[in-house]
């Protein structure tokens, strides 16, 4: 009856409740042991003992009830602590289809922002969903393109968005930052496999995780170069750009030139 709850800290309130519960139970036991059946023959039984027994039973029942409530409240507090510390809400995604599905879920549920790190997406349905969200004015959208090229799908997707106010596009030659998509409440990490266009993923849910990975995103973004000119996207595109001169130095030079040309006072 007084079994301690493993891993749950017992507070003062809980201890008082447990002690009252124990005491109530003890009274019932003592009364039972003290000639329970013999009590019936005592002259004062009807008036006093009966009331005492009923009271003791009532105390036990009441304290049991309060104790259960206290335990429930304590479990709830622990759960919310766990949720906020990010120990729950992680889901491993075993194949590309689930990753793509979850990317769309992330985009659909975003109501403030979408941060995306990566340049090799060919998932048109996912990219179109982002475009719709941005043009509907629902979210801000920041994308860091990494590596020596971007896919043509991404080129086309960003072409209509790059000049919009809620959109930030950046580029970094280094691909060390991996693939990451973040909203204000979800994080999706794409994990590459040895096979081209096949990947696994990890989804994390919760504002704290989203906040932490937003920091990761902006840290990488600040290391890169801001892009505002549609011509820069063309330079980076694997289909539309030049197939030669893909070194870091050459690309930086071409992109700087394109961006400088774009900064014409208007």
Which residues fall within 8 angstroms of residue 234, CB to CB, at 6 or more apart?
A: 155, 240, 241
CB nearer to Zn ion: pick between 39 and 237: 237
Residue 190 phi/psi, 5-degree rounding, is -95, 130
Q: How far is the CB of 207 from Zn ion (least distance, A)?
A: 36
Query: Residue holding tokens 């930030």?
Result: 168
Per CB under 5 A, which region of 25-33, 37-45, 134-142, 148-156 contacts Zn ion? Answer: 148-156
Check binding of 182 to Zn ion (CB under 5 A).
no
Q: How far is the CB of 240 from Zn ion (least distance, A)?
A: 3
Among 46, 112, 219, 239, binds Zn ion (CB under 5 A): 239
CB nearer to Zn ion: pick between 152 and 231: 152
Query: Residue holding tokens 């059946």?
Result: 37
Spatial contact of 78 and 97, defined as CB atoms under 8 Å apart: no
Spatial contact of 110 and 182, defined as CB atoms under 8 Å apart: no
Among 116, 237, 251, 258, binds Zn ion (CB under 5 A): 237
Binding mask 57-96 for Zn ion (x = CB under 5 A): ----------------------------------------
Among 152, 231, 246, 257, binds Zn ion (CB under 5 A): 152
CB nearer to Zn ion: pick between 78 and 234: 234
The residues binding Zn ion (CB under 5 A) are: 152, 155, 237, 239-240
């Amino acid at each position: 009856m007084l079994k301690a709850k493993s891993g749950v800290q017992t507070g003062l309130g809980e201890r008082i409740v447990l002690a009252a519960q124990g005491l109530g139970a003890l009274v019932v036991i003592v009364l039972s042991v003290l000639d329970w059946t013999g009590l019936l023959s005592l002259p004062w039984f009807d008036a006093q003992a009966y009331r005492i027994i009923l009271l003791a039973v009532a105390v036990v029942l009441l304290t049991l009830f309060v104790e259960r409530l206290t335990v429930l409240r304590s479990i709830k507090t622990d759960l919310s602590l766990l949720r906020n510390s990010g120990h729950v809400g992680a889901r491993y995604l075993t194949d590309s289809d689930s990753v793509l599905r979850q990317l769309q879920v992330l985009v659909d549920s975003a109501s403030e922002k979408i941060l995306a790190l990566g340049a090799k997406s060919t998932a048109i349905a996912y990219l179109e969903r982002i475009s719709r969200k941005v043009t509907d004015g629902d979210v801000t959208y920041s994308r860091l393109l990494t590596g020596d090229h971007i896919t043509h799908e991404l080129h086309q997707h960003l072409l209509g968005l790059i000049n919009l106010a809620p959109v930030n596009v950046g580029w970094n030659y280094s691909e060390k930052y991996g693939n990451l998509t973040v909203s204000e409440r979800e994080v999706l990490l794409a994990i590459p496999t040895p096979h081209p266009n096949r990947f696994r993923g990890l989804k994390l849910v919760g504002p704290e995780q989203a906040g932490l990975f937003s920091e990761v995103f902006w840290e990488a973004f600040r290391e890169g170069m801001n892009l505002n000119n549609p011509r820069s996207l063309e330079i980076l595109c694997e289909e539309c750009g030049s197939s030669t001169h893909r070194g870091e130095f050459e690309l930086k030079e071409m992109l700087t030139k394109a961006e400088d040309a774009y900064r014409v006072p208007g």
